[in-house]
Amino acid sequence: MWNLENKIVIVAGGRGLIGKEIVKELKNAGVTVIDADISCETDYDKDTFKLNLLDNTSIEELIKFTLEKYGRIDGMINSAYPHTKDWGKYHFEDDPYEHWAENINMQLNSVFYLDQQIAKVMVEQKSGSIVNFGSIYGIVGNDFTIYEDYGGTSPVEYCAVKGGIINFTRYLASYLGKDNVRVNCVCPGGIWDHQREEFVRNYNHRCPMKRMGNPDDIAPLCVFLVSEGAKYITGQIIAADGGWTAI
């Protein structure tokens, strides 16, 4: 039903926490995957590409790399999560403007350019699926009580970026629908990655399913959205969050 065999799909951030699982799931479904990540080395034979999302030329070269080898791009999943090294350090009132501006550029502006350039190819093809990544904190406000035990916080840039990506996705779906190009947004809940014990305990208490997510909770949804099984689904903001946004 999903009809994924022989599709050509780019995964931006393919070496990341969720990206690695997406790449694995796609390959298991018979997809040819271009694994694009800052941690990759470009290898034409292995379909890996060293992608720097902060360099527009790198994005353009990724598209050229894919088209020269395969002649089309059927799907693009952007699970990349670039951010500054001091990410999560600042509470709202102390956040320097320069920190805000740099992270907005890294996380939101890069999505714009990648989606724009990929969309040009898909419009010409009259087919394609783009999957962006939002977050529960692009859908609802932050629950700061989960950080109280240790004085932590959630970066203010995060909610702004993810909220922006969500409505940007709706814009693209509306704009590109006539060209048979679909654009959807996956919004994960918190994904377990060896966080502080206090955070995990508080998160699990708040979440209806009483646990954090894992990469294999998110990857199948991404695979579905680039498949023929989702051929009439576009402009949707889909939370995979254990029920977090339901309450």
Q: Over the chain, what is the mean pLDDT?
A: 97
For residues 33-47, one letter each, b for 16 or more C-beta atoms within 10 angstroms of the residue's C-beta and e for the rest, the string is bbbbbbebeeeeeeb
Task: Report the share of the chain in percent with pLDDT over 90.
Answer: 98
Hunting for tokens 């190819």 — which residue is that? Answer: 121
Asked if pLDDT for residue 2 goes beyond 90, the answer is no
Q: Catalytic: which of 44, 158, 171, 203?
A: 158
176 with 123: CB under 8 angstroms? Answer: yes
- Among the listed residues 67, 27, 35, the one whose alpha carbon sits nearest the alpha carbon of residue 51: 35
Q: What is the pLDDT of residues 132-169, one digit of tens each?
A: 999 999 999 999 999 999 999 999 999 999 999 999 99
Based on the residue annotation, tell me whether 158 is a catalytic residue of this protein. Answer: yes
Residues in the chain: 247
Q: What is the pLDDT of residues 82-132, one digit of tens each?
A: 999 999 999 999 999 999 999 999 999 999 999 999 999 999 999 999 999
0.75 surpassed by pTM:
yes
Domains of the chain: 8-246 (3.40.50.720)
Asked if pLDDT for residue 1 goes beyond 80, the answer is no
205 vs 2: which has the higher pLDDT: 205
Q: What is the pLDDT of residue 5?
A: 86
